[in-house]
Chains A and B, each alone.
Chain A
Amino acid sequence: KAGVTQTPRYLIKTRGQQVTLSCSPISGHRSVSWYQQTPGQGLQFLFEYFSETQRNKGNFPGRFSGRQFSNSRSEMNVSTLELGDSALYLCASSMTQGVFGNTIYFGEGSWLTVV
């Protein structure tokens, strides 16, 4: 079956612009989470959605937001882009939330460059 699909794979934006990244989880998976990966900070948790509700949020400014749709697809948005937002953004999905032993699968990521 298809894995986690993220679009776009690569994008370049200008400082001050906004960007929307999309994630389609594995079929049947209802939990979607987002991570930011940078060389300096490593992998950091952004937020997690389950059944269209944000369940957890990481320590990121309000410029970072997300949502989940009824079909479990998720989008994340970054407004007023800064150079430091340049990163690989990874989406992950799992079947349900909080079930012991539930494996988390990641997509290929979206490479964002802010110039």
Chain B
Amino acid sequence: AQKITQTQPGMFVQEKEAVTLDCTYDTSDQSYGLFWYKQPSSGEMIFLIYQGSYDEQNATEGRYSLNFQKARKSANLVISASQLGDSAMYFCAMREGESGGSNYKLTFGKGTLLTVNP
């Protein structure tokens, strides 16, 4: 079974509107971290936001917020007031065993290609 599922291969949004990118995850760990990255066509993977499994508040970073629903195992990224420069691939990723220190790798979803239209 996939550990990270991003069901939207592509999304379109009008400039200045908000958009939600979906991510569901599968883990039996109690401690885990969820990340969102943006990857423009240049290839660089840009960190956007992080949510720990024990964080009670949803994470926010500027125009990015993470809608964390632990019981549903979902960690959707919300981008408010979309800009043309937001057009890129977006990846959801999970790191399991946050407190254990023995498993320090990210598992990625397949990504969502976001296109912002003027």
Report yes or no: B101 in contact with A98, Cβ–Cβ below 8 A. Answer: yes
Known A42-B110, A98-B99, A98-B102; contact A103-B52, beta-carbon cutoff 8 A: no
Q: Does any Cβ of A come within 8 Å of B108's Cβ? A: yes
Interface of B: prevailing SS? loop
Q: Which A residues touch B43, using CB under 8 A?
A: 88, 90, 108-109, 111
Q: Which residues of B contact A56 (CB under 8 A)?
A: 102-105
A98→B104 contact, CB < 8 A: yes
Which residues of chain A are near B98, meaning CB under 8 Å? 98, 100-101
Q: Interface residues of A, CB < 8 Å — how many?
A: 27
Contact of A109 among B44, B100, B101 (CB under 8 A): B44
Residues 80-115 of A, flagged 1 when their CB comes within 8 A of B and 0 if not, give 000000001010100001111101111111010000
Chain B residues near A31: list those with CB within 8 A: 104
Interface residues on B, range: 20 to 34
Selecting from B8-16, B31-39, B76-84, the interface stretch reads B31-39
Find out whether the CB atom of B47 lies under 8 angstroms from the CB atom of A105. yes
Identify the A interface with B (CB < 8 A): 31, 33, 35, 42-43, 45, 48, 50, 55-56, 58, 88, 90, 92, 97-101, 103-109, 111
Majority secondary structure, A binding face: strand
Chain A neighbourhood of B111, CB < 8 A: 42
